[in-house]
Structure 1
């Protein structure tokens, strides 16, 4: 029983897909696509040299093109702040006197515990304050 070359390339592609899933290293996926391309060449009757050449060219091209794009996307900050980061810099209304030891504000439609950034400063109900940071479940205001 003689197995054709394109079957070996498919087995190789599947073999390269396993570490892709286990390690989350996208390079293995790019090599798997190269193996699929070589399987196509083998299925069309291409020789061993052309199969290996297609495998190498497709794999290297994918790594050269896709990897920098993926790294760029991973290093970018999200366009919109979410969660706690979205609350920093927003304005709030004081509901209960806020000083260095505590108080209550209305921030983004919700009631939050708050404390003044400067422990000697206090804010009275109705005043507008700016949220400087979120410390746990407490908004630090200025």
Structure 2
């Protein structure tokens, strides 16, 4: 069995490539993708008939170069999107919110873009129901807001 494995190291590299690619799909950090590329270099070395030592050196060198040179550029490119490309929580920052009930430094409820969120003020101040606020950040499932206007006149009718 060991002799067969030594003669067919390409299978080990193929399993490593697929395993690292699978882990990358869970983490989405581009780190394991760089290691999978290094394992692919080891696979190519194995298919070319290189010794196991050369295969390991190929894996290490290609992985190191990918992590140090390609990954930072790729991450910078992915994070340099415009406001239209923002998604989920990033899109809410800077949006206007309407206080549905008084918002304090501890608790409250606001409406942001048609959705109701638990909220608190960033400086511990209090916002009355009906006042406008701006979302400064999202902390877990709580919108942290800063007041922008006094309470509106008339009743609040949430839609």
TM-score under structure 2 normalisation? Answer: 0.46
CA deviation digits over 1:28-80, x for unaligned, max 9? Answer: 011111111101101111111100000011111111111221232244352xx
Counterpart among 6, 12, 34 of residue 8 in structure 1: 12
Higher strand share: 1
In 2 relative to 1, CA 82–31 (structure 1 residues): closer, same or farther, beyond 3 Å?
A: closer
Gaps of 5+ in 2: 86-90, 92-159
4+ residue stretches of structure 1 with deviation over 6 A?
none
Partner of 2:154: none
Larger Rg: 1
TM-score under structure 1 normalisation? Answer: 0.52
Say if 1:9 and 1:36, in contact at 8 Å, map to a contact too.
yes
Partner of 2:39: 35
Cα distance in 1, alignment partners of residues 57 and 22 from structure 2 = 23
In 2 relative to 1, CA 21–82 (structure 1 residues): closer, same or farther, beyond 3 Å?
A: closer
